[in-house]
Amino acid sequence: MRNFLKQTFASLIGSLLGLLIFFGIGTTGVFLLLLTISFKDSSPQVKDKSVLVFDLSVNITDSDPKSSGFLQKALSGDDNERLSLHTVLETLEKARRDKRIVAIYLDGSHTSQASSSTGFATLKEVRQALEKCRAAGKRIIAYGLDWREREYYLSSIADTIVINPVGEMEVKGLSTQPMFLAGAFEKYGIGVQVVREGKFKGAVEPYVLTKLSPENREQTQKLLDDVWSQWRTTVGASRKIDPQQLQELTDNQALLSADQAKTEHLVDKVGYIDEVVADLKQLTDSKKEDKSFHQISLSDYAEVPGQSLGMEHTSKNHIAIVYAAGEIVDGQGSDEEVGGDRFAKIFRRLRADKNIKAIVLRINSPGGSATAAEVMQREVRLTREVKPVVVSMGDLAASGGYWIATNSNHIFAEPNTITGSIGVFGLLFNAQKLANNNGITWDAVKTGRYADTQTMSRPKSPQELALYQRSVDRIYNLFLNKVAQGRKIPSSRVAEIAQGRVWSGTAAKAIGLVDDIGGLDSAIAYAAKQANLGDNWELREYPQFGTFEERLFGTISQEVRISMGIDQVQNQDSNPLTAELQKLQQEIAILQKMNDPLGIYARLPFNLNIER
């Protein structure tokens, strides 16, 4: 039904645009009409004794999710609300200061229908902001039909947690299930040869193995243990439950009924949504005849001016936040990728801008092209010589994502950030068997022994593999030297902690890969201090995306292609089969993004997805 509505709406918009153009209405008139349709009051009203409603199904992204209201959502077909982390943190701080906001309602009633991609490191920053609100006297009430680890991690800070009588509490722990393609490659005759450095560099394993190597299993287990330990410690402290008791629940029960969850003190009440609404009406002094309590959504409240609360001010001194989110690729890259050339240009421009006094580089990337990472790292180093560059690691800042951080002034990570993975690899595919099985053969004429080393018509010879290995060794040693120089760690020590191994933020701080535990706000505050700005500064966010008109036409174009069956629509259904098919799509997408001109990559071991 959703796809039908999307296709119908796309066709309607296309027809409308055609009619408008046919009758002589220019582009300006079209957009005036569309903007009028989607116009929304930019200053929502906040009543006294209001509750800030935080929908836990929202996807919290690093950079601006480019939401443009009803029209943009209708065109994109994206039902899930998206807000940037900075917007969420700033909005919660505004609520902490606002006397009109008396409580925060964490609404978990829609989480079972949504698929949030928000990681635990991001949730930790949001959780800390909620803790500040609670310390300022704002009551926090949480309600859910089913509590899963991710949403409960955030909600465990609440004064009162309510679960529906038919609901369940999930305390199963964390897992990851990487997909291996080696068997399929062998079956269909696709050859894969690997060159790599680092015994933990498991990014190649999905293509050459059928299960995790012992080294990769070891590092993955340690990473999950660190993240899970942080979950148990944090939740346990808020709910006054011993972390070991939570582990016993995980190992022995995993799924708790509503009554069991209350018995184990994981929730405070078993009740229905109408009972929660009644309590919130009483808290906000709402009238009995009112349908609900005085409230404002997080997204609407984000649009409320904060000048009167000391939250917004103008200054000629700017701190730039540069969001490096997604796969690192050579060239410009898309909005969802970290294009080496595009980000290098951003840093050059910021370095020359006298109003930019400091830069916060927010990294949320598994890495990718080693060439692109080096291009960016060079610009970070040059910029650091002119003004402070502070790194804030999000959920993921590994391999190439760590490479670009090495020469910053200071690195912040959360305890459950995934980082490290200092190693490189190359994948060499060939289709000889596949082609030969279907009657296809090749021949070659060349003027040099290695003239056809790039071919996919045959496996590489031992001599050719040695050439590639030499390149990988060179890039790996370059990576090690970058880390040693940037982090001021002896080369021998870097060699020990590298090897492609993945670390949690807590472990990374212990071994010197990061400087401090903290989130985006901590990094911004540190940058302001390093630039001697005091409170006299304002933020600027980069990359700056295209205009609304460009996004609108691009989205309409995409929807028309989808309606014609040209593009594939990603199914958001959460059934297990679909989930596995989506994993396969993700693995193929990773291969498509591998565009390094040297064919060498610094990337996280496999497509790590922590499930709960």
496 vs 111: which has the higher pLDDT: 496
Confidence of residue 490 (pLDDT cuts 50, 70, 90): very high
Catalytic residue among 6, 94, 138, 201: 201
Residues 480 and 598 reside in one and the same domain: yes
Residues 533 and 575 reside in one and the same domain: yes
| Amino acid, single-letter form, for residue 117 | S
> Would the pLDDT of 220 be above 70?
yes
What average pLDDT does this structure show over 297-322? Answer: 88
What average pLDDT does this structure show over 248-260? Answer: 94
For residue 603, what is the DSSP state?
E
Whether 205 is covered by a domain: the verdict is no
Query: Which residues have a Cβ under 8 Å from the Cβ of 319 and sit 6 or more positions away?
Result: 356, 357, 358, 359, 360, 524, 527, 528, 531, 533, 537, 538, 539, 540
The overall longest dimension of the chain from CA atoms, in Å, is 89
Catalytic residue among 399, 408, 504, 563: 399
Whether 518 is covered by a domain: the verdict is yes
Residues 358 and 377 reside in one and the same domain: yes
Residues 13 and 61 reside in one and the same domain: no
Q: How far apart are CA 284 and CA 304, in angstroms?
A: 19
Whether 364 is covered by a domain: the verdict is yes
- Please give the tally of structural domains in the chain: 3
Query: Is 399 among the catalytic positions?
Result: yes
Q: Which among 264, 280, 308 is the end of a domain?
A: 308
Confidence of residue 116 (pLDDT cuts 50, 70, 90): low
Confidence of residue 394 (pLDDT cuts 50, 70, 90): very high
Residues 486 and 507 reside in one and the same domain: yes
Confidence of residue 196 (pLDDT cuts 50, 70, 90): confident
- Report the pLDDT value the prediction gives residue 518, as an integer from 0 to 100: 95
- Report the pLDDT value the prediction gives residue 82, as an integer from 0 to 100: 84
Residues 295 and 347 reside in one and the same domain: no
Query: Is 315 among the catalytic positions?
Result: no
For residue 417, what are its two tokens? 């950030």
What average pLDDT does this structure show over 307-321? Answer: 86
> Would the pLDDT of 232 be above 90?
yes
Residues 56 and 147 reside in one and the same domain: yes
Confidence of residue 28 (pLDDT cuts 50, 70, 90): very low
> Would the pLDDT of 216 be above 60?
yes
Contact 266, 256 (CB under 8 A): yes
Q: How far apart are CA 371 and CA 400, in angstroms?
A: 9
Whether 434 is covered by a domain: the verdict is no
Specify the pairing of strand 269-270 against strand 328-329: unpaired
Whether 127 is covered by a domain: the verdict is yes
Domain of 15 in residue numbering reads as: 1-37
Confidence of residue 481 (pLDDT cuts 50, 70, 90): very high
Residues 507 and 403 reside in one and the same domain: yes
Residues 258 and 318 reside in one and the same domain: no
pLDDT one-digit tens code per residue, 52-99: 999 998 989 887 765 444 444 444 444 557 899 999 999 999 999 999
Whether 244 is covered by a domain: the verdict is no
Whether 433 is covered by a domain: the verdict is no
- CA dihedral of 485, 487, 492, 493, whole degrees rounded to 10: 180
- Report the pLDDT value the prediction gives residue 506, as an integer from 0 to 100: 93
> Would the pLDDT of 383 be above 80?
yes
Q: How far apart are CA 35 and CA 467, in angstroms?
A: 58
- Report the pLDDT value the prediction gives residue 323, as an integer from 0 to 100: 95
Whether 417 is covered by a domain: the verdict is yes
Q: What is the CA radius of gyration of the chain?
A: 26
| Amino acid, single-letter form, for residue 348 | R
pLDDT one-digit tens code per residue, 121-141: 999 999 999 999 999 999 999
Residues 166 and 33 reside in one and the same domain: no
For residue 584, what are its two tokens? 């396969």
- Report the pLDDT value the prediction gives residue 563, as an integer from 0 to 100: 38
Query: Which residues have a Cβ under 8 Å from the Cβ of 4 and sit 6 or more positions away?
Result: none
Q: Which among 282, 308, 334 is the end of a domain?
A: 308
Q: What is the mean pLDDT of the chain?
A: 82
Confidence of residue 583 (pLDDT cuts 50, 70, 90): low
pLDDT one-digit tens code per residue, 494-541: 999 998 888 999 999 999 999 999 999 999 999 999 999 998 999 999
Q: In what order do the strands lie in the sheet with 139-144?
A: 269-270, 160-163, 139-144, 101-108, 50-55, 295-297
Residues 72 and 107 reside in one and the same domain: yes
Q: How far apart are CA 545 and CA 167, in angstroms?
A: 41
As a 3-state breakdown, the chain gives helix, strand, coil percent values, each rounded to 5, of 45, 20, 35
- Report the pLDDT value the prediction gives residue 552, as an integer from 0 to 100: 47
Confidence of residue 269 (pLDDT cuts 50, 70, 90): very high
Where residue 386 falls (left for φ over 0; alpha for ψ -120 to 50; beta otherwise) is alpha
For residue 140, what are its two tokens? 């926090």
For residue 116, what are its two tokens? 């949030």
Provide the sign of the torsion angle of the four alpha carbons 228, 231, 232, 233, taken in this order.
positive
pLDDT one-digit tens code per residue, 141-156: 999 998 899 999 999 9
pLDDT one-digit tens code per residue, 495-505: 999 988 889 99
Contact 231, 149 (CB under 8 A): yes
Percent of the chain with pLDDT over 70: 78
CATH of the domain at 97: 3.90.226.10
> Would the pLDDT of 38 be above 50?
no
Residues 296 and 400 reside in one and the same domain: no
The lowest-confidence range among 45-49, 367-371, 423-427, 462-466 is 423-427
Secondary structure string (H, E, C) spanning 448-489: CCCCCCCCCCCCCCHHHHHHHHHHHHHHHHHHHHHHHHHHCC
- Report the pLDDT value the prediction gives residue 499, as an integer from 0 to 100: 85
- Report the pLDDT value the prediction gives residue 94, as an integer from 0 to 100: 94
For residue 194, what are its two tokens? 């690997």
> Would the pLDDT of 578 be above 60?
no
C-beta neighbour count of 417 within 10 angstroms: 32
- Report the pLDDT value the prediction gives residue 589, as an integer from 0 to 100: 64
DSSP string, 582-597: HHHHHHHHHHHH---T
C-alpha distances in angstroms, 314 versus 94, 349, 537? 17, 21, 7
Q: How far apart are CA 237 and CA 519, in angstroms?
A: 20
Angle (CA) 575 577 578, round 5°: 70
Confidence of residue 559 (pLDDT cuts 50, 70, 90): very low
